[in-house]
Structure 1
Amino acid sequence: MSLFAINAIYKASEGEGVHIGTPQVFVRFQGCNIGCVNCDSIDTWDFDAGERLTLDQVLAQVIEQGGDKFKRVSITGGDPLHPKLLPQVLQLVSVLKKKGYWVNVEAAGTRVVSELFDAIDFISFDYKTPCTKVKTNLSLVAKLATQFPNKFQIKSVIESRIDFDDVVQAKNELHSMLVNASVDTTFPWVLTPAFNLGESMPFERVLDVIAWNENEAQGFRVITQQHKILHGSEKKKV
């Protein structure tokens, strides 16, 4: 029997991105080897940690958390697209869709998995900025825009002007890559002002990112992390 590597399953309102404020059930998988230096979920890195649950146990917790009021699930991690976890994620998505759930997957920006992305309703895809010390291949964003129009957002953490300039350059390069392919590049690209572990609310950083975005007029959206504003940078399952 296949066991699922699970960090947590809980009900909360989406705290960031274009669906901010929407109640849903989060299924957080255990395991990630990407290594973002400013990761706020380091407890999800170890593939051997967390719980081991059957598919039926995962579904039971999803149903218990969501009840009959909403059938909306966000699959996150960890890195749910990691090859060790992907078969589990595909199994879960298949059953959730048959039961009528709306499903989002939080993708870390390291790979595009067409089999999974075709099956779900929405893709939240990271474009990593210099503050993470991880680099996203821009061709992956181009592939998303080409194959999955109108069902994804790009999210980027902005800690400094270096990060902002990086996403501006990336967006300009992406437009150049796709301009002759008749691919829409006006998809949602969300800038998330960094709210790092141990920090109090970084008002100055948020105001800076908003000002840069207004001055550059590149079509980004600045959306803060609602759950951290309400609960602080370290509280889990919110």
Structure 2
Amino acid sequence: MKAALRWIACLLLAGLALELFFVVRIAAMAAIDPQSTAFQRSEAWQIATHKGSEGAWRQEWVPYAQINDSLKRAVIASEDASFIDHDGVEWEAIERARQRNARAEELAAKRMARAAARGKTAQAAPLRGGSTITQQLAKNLLLSGERTMLRKGQELVLAVLLETLLDKRRILEIYLNSVEWGEGVFGAEAAAQYYFRKPAARLSSFEAARLAVMLPSPKFYERRPNSPYLNGRASTIVARMPSADLP
């Protein structure tokens, strides 16, 4: 019994130490630009393992002021329209995403059953998230890519910590400089140079909207630059951009 209690105490202390580590890391980001994220390090390993020296890596940190406001507005309009107002987590958006995914999975199961009856196969339903920009940043900065309830819970805690220790402008600055925009392409400056051969400060509204639409599946759209959905959705985001408030 005493041994079990000691193990429990050790686990609790380890958990507390991890949370304190996260607090210190996030607090430091108020003044220090993060050199890499957990997601980037994972991607770098994958590229090095599978492509060796042939794998390209593109990233260049630029200050908030050197990123065109059009891109900031486009990302907010596309990814998190309530970014300015929430405290890191949008519970209603998470619930809406859960309901959408449940309906999508139910429809996909029926399609797969019909396809199996005809001796064919059908794709599983693509799942959509309800994560805010702050949650996405928390996951990419400090967590692994596994999909578990424990990791999701830690993501929510880190999102609250980010909102408590950093202001909205800094959160958006770090997000735009670290988010993935293709294989080995990270951050707004690298994305602008890679796709449009210009700095992030000179992106047009439509170019910014195209980049924003890519964010949920950047590698998918990197391989399909002429996707009709990409162009159509970008036009919708351009129309929404004027109402997107910036920090």
TM-score above 0.5, yes or no: no
Q: Which structure has the larger Rg?
A: 2
TM-score when scaled to structure 1? 0.28
Which structure has more RCO (C-alpha within 8 Å, separation ≥ 6)? 2
Q: Which is strand-richer, 1 or 2?
A: 1
Larger helix fraction of residues: 2
TM-score by length of 2: 0.27
